[in-house]
Amino acid sequence: MDLDLANIEKAARVIDPQFLDTPQYVDELLDRTVTVKLETANPIRSFKGRGADFALSALDPGTRVVCASSGNFGQAVAYAGRARGMRVQVFVPRTINPGKQARMEAFGARVSPAGPDGSAARAAAAAYAAEHPDVVFLRDGFQPAIAEGAGTIGVELAAGQAFDAVVLPVGDGALISGVARWIKAHSPTTRVVGVNAAGAPSMLRSLEAGHAVAIERADTFAEGISVCLPIEESVRRARELIDEMVLVTDEAIAAAMERAARTLGVLLEPAGAAGLAAIATGQVAGERLATVLTGANPRPEQLGELLARLAR
């Protein structure tokens, strides 16, 4: 296991305080006690700032950094890079949420559209880094520091509490690996449940096979967890740390977004509601559950549809 508990503790001291100690509270949802943690209450409205900032904390000011992103990770690297005096370039799919692109650029990043999807953007970022030896390629889900930074969510969730299960959306796998690393060490009876979109079950298929498996294409509106091929290192960590994977449909995610807006007062993006959707559809056993609302950067059309549902 390459995720170090001491590094997770260190991350809780090093990460920009704006990303730490996010609100969490118990809400009586679905006839069970569910602790929800709002990783939307920070400058990028996503949990990604924790891992990006911890990874960049090890680099010197002035370092050139490149990454690929469908939106939230790029925002995180751009924000943390600006704060730490680094130049950031983000390769993105041409279909990127325009709001997320605008935020990256507002944080000072150079944004380079590359290809129709996340795989093309990652390939472009890797090629750029290979051609420029002075550039650091930060790949979401690959460097242990990214997962260790995300693991600080586990520190905060587990403080003085015990859960039957912690339920987390799974895209690149950094969030669930980091949180599970801490939870398994401090509450070994707590199950860690990962959630894939039904139209992008790449991590579930990979865990079934025992190695990274590509799906032909992702078919989900939850772009934050729309991954066609997980990173092998991420799959290896997940095999050791995740107890179970479940799938949720886009319809269930949309219903969870509406529930979050009505009950919790948060306008989530689809990936941010995946854990709540898994609980709402009865796929997670236990009376004391926890989930993380991971992002609130919906596309304009998604926000419009959500507001229309709320007006009915």
- Report yes or no: 231 and 173 within 8 Å, Cβ to Cβ: yes
**b/e string for 125-146 if b means 16 or more Cβ within 10 A?**
beebbeeeeebbbbbbbbbbbb
pLDDT digits (tens, 9 = 90+) for 45-66: 999 999 999 999 999 999 999 9
Residue from 141, 161, 159, 160 nearest 149 by CA: 141
Tell me what pLDDT residue 119 has: 84
Model-level pTM? 0.95
For every one of its 312 residues, what pLDDT tens digit does the chain have, with 9 covering 90 and above?
999 999 999 999 999 999 999 999 888 766 788 999 999 989 999 999 999 999 999 999 999 999 999 889 999 999 999 999 999 999 999 999 999 999 999 999 999 999 888 888 999 999 999 999 999 999 999 999 999 999 999 999 999 789 999 999 999 999 999 999 999 999 999 999 999 999 999 999 999 999 999 999 999 999 999 999 999 999 999 999 999 999 999 999 999 999 999 989 999 999 999 999 999 999 999 999 999 999 999 998 998 999 989 888
Its sign, for the CA torsion 282, 287, 296, 84, is negative
CA separation for the pair 221, 38 (Å, rounded): 21
Tell me what pLDDT residue 29 has: 66
Tell me what pLDDT residue 117 has: 83
Q: Which amino acid is at 110?
A: R
pLDDT digits (tens, 9 = 90+) for 242-282: 999 999 999 999 999 999 999 899 999 999 999 999 999 99
Q: How far from 40 is each of 43, 78, 153, 180, 248, CA to CA, in Å?
A: 8, 17, 13, 20, 21
Which residues does 186 contact at the CB level (< 8 Å), separation at least 6? Answer: 158
CA separation for the pair 148, 9 (Å, rounded): 9
Which residues does 299 contact at the CB level (< 8 Å), separation at least 6? Answer: 97, 98, 99, 269
